[in-house]
A = this chain, B = another copy of it.
Amino acid sequence: MTLYLDDLRVRHLGECRYDSPLSEMLTTKQTSPHYVAEGDRVLLEDTVSMLAGHDVPPEQVPSFEAAGPRKKIYFDPSSVTAGILTCGGLCPGLNNVIRGLVQELAVHYKVKRILGFRNGLRGLTSEHRDDTVELTPEHVRDIHNAGGTILGSSRGNQDPDEMVDSLVEHGVDVLFVIGGDGGMRAATCLSNAIEARGLDIAVIGVPKTIDNDLPFTDQSFGFQSAFASAMDFISSVSVEAAASPNGVGLVKLMGRHSGFIAAYAALAANGADIVLIPEIPFALDGPEGLLAYVEQHVRKKGYVVIVLAEGAGQDLLEDADLSHRNGKATDASGNVKLGKIDDLLKERITDHLTAVGLAPTMRYIDPSYAIRSVVANAYDSVYCLRLAHAAAHAAMAGRTEVAVARWRRRFVHVPLSLMTSRRNQVDPDGDLWMSVLETTCQPAEFGVQREGEKVPSGFC
């Protein structure tokens, strides 16, 4: 799906008439490797071949609006009421973003009233709209030292009109929605409902995805903290498996549709023998299948360590008609509930190894809540802070229906709808996955051939 410049344009609420309280700091700034000037834009693509594909003048090449403070802003800060909410699953850094927003708005823009809505979009329902908390710099000073979110979170959609009513009732001018694809979709709906009622409320999305599966974002905030924590659990099962006769270490990591956490954690830990991700189908049976490889590994090395993204191998559950595992229901956010691939693997591996006389010691762990709840690491702390600053600037400049993101190390504005238009996934032909294969020495595929391809047979 090709994107054109027009696809990347951002909605403005209107002309910027107010001097920014920050304008004094902005006078000398111009585009450099460390800054993009107000009028400049950031290229979407970054290779010669991609550039050559667009036979247009530079200013027509697909590009994003640069994020950052503007000299003139849309809202009069002294009369602005801001709202903040967090929705979806936990992710390291949520409190850092909340804190960064509050500090930037209150200290630098002198915004006097900042409201936190409780438990995600639920906090905008009529039932809960009065649970709001007032947020001040003093209140949020140390919240980044704890994981989770002080505002609470939840899944699930709410009626857009009811939510707009809440915003109106509280006099909210700018709303920050920190959430995943469910949250970004809801923010888009909300923004449409606001527009339909002709209201002057900016809706800014701060994309949150521990799986790193949202597009137009280098790495989503919290991702590095998450895979660092995941790495430790790979080490745990490696230690357990290595110390047990025919040990099988199995760790299930987050990754519904994208195996980034599994891939990165496996590269960082380097104790993983097999990485299974949603992007790469695998077969269990047959001479090239996973079970045969597991067996071979246990025979040779004495044990095996498997890193499993939760969304991997979902087709196997269907094939096996394992109706109790093959979830077709959806959760409150509308996500299809995943079948339990971990249960299938434990069963099949145990059966297989037992059958060949290698009765295994199974060491399984599902550390998801322990990973999601960690405090943001140093890198993510800085990232969240700067992302929050960018979001505050976007709102004050009257952008709306827009997400702030980091694109090839520049902060940019991305139209909200684009954030849910595609998924960021591990490219089976990309260099990340190739490094995983080189490091684990697992075969490129387990008995499942992509068309016209020859499967290498374990190349270490």
Distance from A136 Cβ to chain B, minimum over Cβ atoms (Å): 14
Contact of A378 among B144, B227, B439 (CB under 8 A): B227
Binary contact readout A357-382 vs B (1 if CB under 8 angstroms, 0 otherwise) = 00000011111011011100111011
Distance from A300 Cβ to chain B, minimum over Cβ atoms (Å): 15
A459 contact set on B, CB distance < 8 A? 21, 25, 108
> Do residues B434 and A378 form an inter-chain contact, with CB atoms below 8 A?
no
> Do residues B51 and A47 form an inter-chain contact, with CB atoms below 8 A?
no
> Do residues B429 and A29 form an inter-chain contact, with CB atoms below 8 A?
yes
Q: Cβ of A34 < 8 Å from any Cβ of B?
A: yes
> Do residues B107 and A441 form an inter-chain contact, with CB atoms below 8 A?
yes
A227 contact set on B, CB distance < 8 A? 378-379
Distance from A241 Cβ to chain B, minimum over Cβ atoms (Å): 9
Q: Cβ of A430 < 8 Å from any Cβ of B?
A: yes
Contact of A243 among B31, B90, B366, B382 (CB under 8 A): B90
> Do residues A379 and B228 form an inter-chain contact, with CB atoms below 8 A?
yes
Q: How far is the CA of A148 from the CA of B249 in the complex (A)?
A: 13
A51 contact set on B, CB distance < 8 A? 43, 51, 58, 61
> Do residues A240 and B148 form an inter-chain contact, with CB atoms below 8 A?
yes
> Do residues B42 and A49 form an inter-chain contact, with CB atoms below 8 A?
no
Interface of A is mostly: mixed
Q: How far is the CA of A441 from the CA of B106 in the complex (A)?
A: 13
> Do residues A240 and B34 form an inter-chain contact, with CB atoms below 8 A?
no
Distance from A302 Cβ to chain B, minimum over Cβ atoms (Å): 8
Beyond A51-B51, A409-B409, 4 additional contacts (C-beta under 8 Å) are: A27-B453, A43-B46, A235-B373, A265-B378
A contacts, CB < 8 Å to B = 21, 24-25, 27-37, 39-43, 46-52, 57-59, 61, 63, 66, 68-69, 90, 103-104, 107-108, 119, 122, 142, 144-149, 152-154, 218, 224, 227-228, 231-233, 235-237, 239-240, 242-245, 264-265, 267-268, 270, 363-367, 369-370, 372-374, 377-379, 381-382, 385-386, 389, 408-411, 426-427, 429-432, 434-435, 437-439, 441, 444, 450, 453-454, 456, 459-460
- What are 11 A-B pairs at a CB distance below 8 A? A34-B429, A35-B430, A47-B66, A52-B59, A224-B379, A240-B372, A267-B386, A365-B366, A366-B366, A379-B379, A389-B435
